[in-house]
DNA sequence: CCAAAAGTGTTATGCTTACACCCATGC
DNA sequence: GCATGGGTGTAAGCATAACACTTTTGG
């Protein structure tokens, strides 16, 4: 008898914290639960890991099913497994966080007609009554995003292919929830050498048109 | 029928990367496997998560059973769950890393008479034939330790309660595998304000005795 | 007095911060 | 010509990095 049969097996799910920037705010995709437990509550999208499917593949599948997006930034966050976190039984959740850029966020609601909506992360009402321990997962994801944006280029993943430096700066301000100095920001970003200046500008505005840039993946 | 019953359940284990400093080297605790698969190979200590036990509690239990230590630094690392990582079936491993200080490392071998030994992390032979995907887990743990030591105080967890600044510096040099400037190091460490100068010194040495310090947890 | 590690300051360099005005466009 | 956001440089402060000699002990 294999030891695999000697031990009780928990259920394993992946839960996703899917961020995007919209309406000048950091949003997270939540789904209203149709059944018990936590019926009617908002929850992070997620689902069971299938046999023969890697954890990352399960996360990507949920991302596609629930948010209708593929090929976005996706990173494992943390694994939550306290007994009692799901009243139905032992469920271990491997959480991921994803960043959806402005180009693709409209493809959402590809979801199975469920009530899926973007919620402001900073709206205290959002966190108030999330299902399970999803508030904790969300808080951790925000913390990680805030740290990571300071020393990596994940911030670019939230923008469309072509963007202005002001738009990029705004992403930082929204996530960090504090103003950023324009000149220092531009200096730092350009010095990094990870964006290419395009010849185009964002026209049709009632002021000087801004230069467009694109991100070069490494 | 609950959805928990509709989906196949994988086995879930915790695997531990237990570091210590000994013989002027960074060591990891490995256990020689007595049974198949990977019989005779070295592997990270670990075991199945029990029902009603949190992941962290499972890790702490394994730490106690396999290394004979309690109450040491313990942090979740990453969850590995590729199908095929265990030939016996679907096994998802939540990995943790632990830091055992020099005071307590001798309590090891409390293990069930199994062949448990400290191996040099930098010895290429160590990684060569680890069981499962444990090489990958170990590599990731080393990467994390190296990063974390630069901006946190985890380094102190590897030292006895009382230590000299030279000993602390040596921990950094061993982990980073590069020399550290003595004066700058002392300046930085003292400026952090996380260690207390003791009145004692490390005597009985054939040179000027070094002042002892202790770490103040926050 | 010799060997061996402990302990100690100063200067140069680069990075981060603070800060204010002119520019290009649409209306 | 006015309102609106786009775009630009410089100086100060701060943290990091480089570097060599004196001190204290045991033998």
pLDDT tens digits for B140-180?
A: 999 999 999 999 999 999 999 999 999 999 999 999 999 99
Question: Within chain A, what is the greatest distance between any pair of CA atoms?
Answer: 75
Spanning CA of B85 to C1' of D3, the rounded length in angstroms is 63
pLDDT of residue A2 exceeding 80, the answer is no
Tell me the pTM: 0.95
- Identify any residues that bridge with A202 across adjacent strands, giving them in sequence order: A210
Confidence band of B124 (pLDDT split at 50, 70, 90): confident
Distance between CA atoms of residues B90 and B88, nearest Å: 7
Cβ-contact B177, B187 below 8 angstroms:
no
Chain A residue at shortest CA distance from B57? A82
Residue A106 CB in 7 A reach of strand D: no
> Measured between CA atoms, how close is A24 to chain B, in angstroms?
32
Structure tokens at B198: 């003791």
Write the DSSP assignment of A150-192 as a string of letters. HHSSGGGGGS-SEE-HHHHHHHHHHHHTS---HHHHHHHHHHH
- Is the model more confident about B4 or about A164? A164
pLDDT at B112: 56
* Mean pLDDT, residues A182-188 taken together: 98
Distance between CA atoms of residues B172 and B1, nearest Å: 55
Cβ-contact A53, A133 below 8 angstroms:
no
Number of other CB atoms surrounding residue B208 within 10 Å: 7
Tell me if residue B65 falls in helix, strand or coil: helix
* Mean pLDDT, residues A212-218 taken together: 91
Distance between CA atoms of residues B199 and A137, nearest Å: 45
Question: Which of these, A109, A145, A136, lies nearest to A43 by C-alpha position?
Answer: A136
| A8 interface with B at CB cutoff 8 Å | yes
pLDDT of residue B109 exceeding 80, the answer is no
Chain B residue at shortest CA distance from A36? B2
Q: pLDDT tens digits, residue range B46-87?
A: 999 999 999 999 999 999 999 999 999 999 999 999 999 999
Partner-chain contact A78 B81, CB within 8 Å: no
Distance between CA atoms of residues A172 and A166, nearest Å: 10
Question: Which of these, B68, B84, B53, lies nearest to B16 by C-alpha position?
Answer: B68
């Amino acid at each position: 008898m294999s030891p695999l049969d000697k031990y009780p097996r928990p259920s394993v799910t992946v839960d996703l914290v899917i961020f995007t920037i919209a309406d000048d705010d950091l949003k997270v995709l939540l789904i209203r639960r149709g059944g018990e437990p936590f019926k009617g509550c908002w929850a992070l999208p997620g689902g069971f890991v299938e046999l023969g499917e890697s954890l990352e593949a399960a996360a990507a599948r949920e991302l596609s099913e629930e948010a209708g997006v593929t090929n976005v930034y996706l990173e494992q966050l943390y694994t939550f497994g306290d007994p009692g976190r799901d009243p139905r039984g032992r469920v271990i959740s491997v959480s991921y966080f994803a960043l959806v850029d402005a180009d693709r966020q409209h493809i959402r609601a590809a979801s199975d007609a469920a009530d899926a909506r973007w919620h402001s992360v900073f709206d205290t009402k959002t966190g108030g009554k999330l299902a399970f321990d999803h508030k904790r997962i969300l808080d951790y994801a925000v913390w990680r995003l805030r740290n990571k944006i300071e020393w990596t280029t994940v911030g670019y993943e939230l923008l469309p292919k072509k963007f202005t430096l002001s738009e990029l700066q705004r992403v930082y301000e929204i996530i960090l929830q504090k103003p950023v100095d324009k000149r220092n920001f531009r200096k730092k970003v350009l010095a990094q050498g990870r964006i290419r200046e395009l010849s185009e500008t964002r026209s049709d505005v009632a002021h000087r048109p801004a230069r467009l840039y694109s991100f070069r993946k490494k």
